[in-house]
Structures are given as C-alpha cells and as structure tokens.
Amino acid sequence: MSDEGEIVAGGGTSVPRRRDDLAAIELDGDVVVYDAASDAMHIFNATAALVWQCLDGTASVEELGDELSAAFAADAATVRADVHAAIAVFAERGLLDTGETDLDEEVPATPGRAPAAPQVLAPAPST
C-alpha cells in the first residue's frame, strides 16, 4: 500500500472510484468507456466490465474481490487476481479518480481527428 489517499492498482485496502467525467455504455456485456479529455476510447470485456461497474468508491479492492467471488461462487483467490488485474489496467489508463485536479486546458476539437485506438482488456473472464 502506498501513501494514504493515493490509489495504487490492486492495493487491497484502497477504495478505487471511476472518474465522474467519463462516458460509458454497455454492449453485450462489454463496456465501452470514452475519455473526452484524452479523446481515447477503451473497451473492456465482461469481467472487467463487472469490476468497472462496482468502482463507485464505496468498496475496497479486497472487499470487491470477496463480494464478487461470493456472488459468482467462484474461487476467491482467482477473483481477487482478476479484480486486481482489471483495476491495474483502469489505473494505468487514467480512468480512476485520483483526487488530483488537472488544470490543463482541453485541446479543442479538430475536424477529422479520430479517437485513440481502442484496446481490449486481454484476460478472459474467469468468474
């Protein structure tokens, strides 16, 4: 665990939370997240989507793992590993609320500019 208040991916007692300014839709179990600030789109599979939906800032990583393993009657260690992996990816992509304020001015829209290439979270569902 790191300094207090900082979210570290997979840190068991940290309480991760989705950024409020992201757009997200669910399609066939996948979740598509659009980050307008960076003009990037992210696609997450069903496992990651499930974790994503739970990141409302009320449960710790450890608690999420326990809740999901209980809900799906799945092996707790496996589920925890999946939760940690998913949250690590969310954090790496800057999709979690770190409590920091970005004062950079948003780049204005440019006609024809496409969002960054999407990336699909690789691990297959195991819950």
- List of residues contacting another protein (CB under 8 A): 23-25, 27-28, 30-32, 34, 36, 39, 41, 43, 109-115, 117-118, 120
Closer CB to another protein, residue 76 or residue 116?
A: 116
Closer CB to another protein, residue 114 or residue 122?
A: 114
Query: Could you tell me if residue 24 is left (phi over 0), alpha (psi between -120 and 50 degrees) or otherwise beta?
Result: beta
CA angle (57 as vertex; 103, 9 as ends), nearest 5: 75
Strands 23-27 and 30-35: what pairing? antiparallel
Q: Shortest gap between Cβ of 71 and another protein (angstroms)?
A: 23
Q: Six-digit token pair at 33?
A: 């997240």
Q: Shortest gap between Cβ of 26 and another protein (angstroms)?
A: 8
Give the bridge partners for 26, in sequence order: 31
Closer CB to another protein, residue 45 or residue 60?
A: 45
